[in-house]
Structure 1
Amino acid sequence: MLLYVTVGTNDLERSGRFYDAVLPLLGYRRQKQAEGEIGYGADDDVRCRFWIVEPFDREPATFGNGVTIALDAPSRAAVDAFHAAALANGGTDEGGPGIRPFHPNFYAAFVRDLDGNKLSIVCERPEQAHAT
């Protein structure tokens, strides 16, 4: 349903370093950069699906109260790794990795990026059984 998502930033270079560290953990990498914007996409996609941008109106970027961008993770380990990488790169914890009450396999973590944008990293797959 969604074509792409943008989040505003007041420091594109700093925000780019943050997202360069966390988005590859979900299979996305920086694919485009132009004045005022950086785009991330999967290697097998024809377009960038996640953008960090300086606001077009040149006003300061702000985050939306009640807005959360949920990113699909391929595994619970990827949720854990994203959360840890976000915190290690200056992000703020908004809820550590764990099962949420939405359904039995809703494993998620919540962070805020360097500009205050709230991200949810979610794996809805059952936990992988470990060989013993």
Structure 2
Amino acid sequence: MFSHMMIGSNDLDRSKVFYDAVLGTVGARPGSFDEKGRLVYFHNGAAFLVTKPINGEPASCANGATIGFATASPEQADAWHTAGVEHGGTAIEDAPGERPGSGMYLAYLRDPDGNKLCALHRLSA
């Protein structure tokens, strides 16, 4: 359903360190800057971009929004979470783990700009 997601950042170099580490755990290559100065990641047919807001105002995170990243296993979700915390992110909500009755293994972080992120692995029945 989604082709891409774009979020704002006030420090693109800091974001590159964070997202290179976090997205690298799910197989994405390090991001690169495009001709407009946006940080771009391509993986599995989708794009994830990080940019300074074009209106010149400071970037802010969306209250109530969460960006989810699919992981291949609980171990990959754990690696994603660890990489995020080690590279400037903040662990939030419950510790990474299976949510009883949901069939999902989840891990939550906030990136250095405060955007809420989730690693999700659907457990087999």
Question: TM-score of the superposition, structure 2-length normalised?
Answer: 0.90
Matches within 5 A, 1:34-73: 34=34, 35-42=36-43, 45=45, 49-73=47-71
Instruction: Report if the CA contact (8 A) 2:16-2:31 is conserved.
Output: no
List structure 1 segments (4+ residues) > 3 angstroms apart after TM superposition: none
Q: Cα deviation per residue 1:34-74 (whole Å; 9 max; x = unaligned)?
A: 243111112x53xx511111111111000011000011001
Question: TM-score of the superposition, structure 1-length normalised?
Answer: 0.85
Q: Which has the larger radius of gyration?
A: 1
Which amino acid counterpart does residue 37 of structure 2 have in structure 1? Answer: G
Separation in 2, partners of 1:53, 1:102: 37
Which residue of the partner structure matches residue 130 of structure 1? none
Separation in 2, partners of 1:61, 1:23: 21
Aligned residues: 123
Which residue of the partner structure matches residue 97 of structure 1? 96
Cα offset, 1:31, TM superposition: 4.8
Which amino acid counterpart does residue 38 of structure 2 have in structure 1? Answer: E
Question: Percent identical across equivalent pairs?
Answer: 38
Separation in 1, partners of 2:99, 2:116: 17
CA-atom RMSD in angstroms:
1.7
Q: Cα deviation per residue 1:53-112 (whole Å; 9 max; x = unaligned)?
A: 111111100001100001100111010001111111110011321112462x20001000
For the residue of structure 2 that corresponds to 1:61, the secondary structure is coil
Gaps of 5+ in 1: 128-132
Change (3 A) 1:111 1:76: same
Instruction: Report if the CA contact (8 A) 2:91-2:108 is conserved.
Output: yes
Gaps of 5+ in 2: none
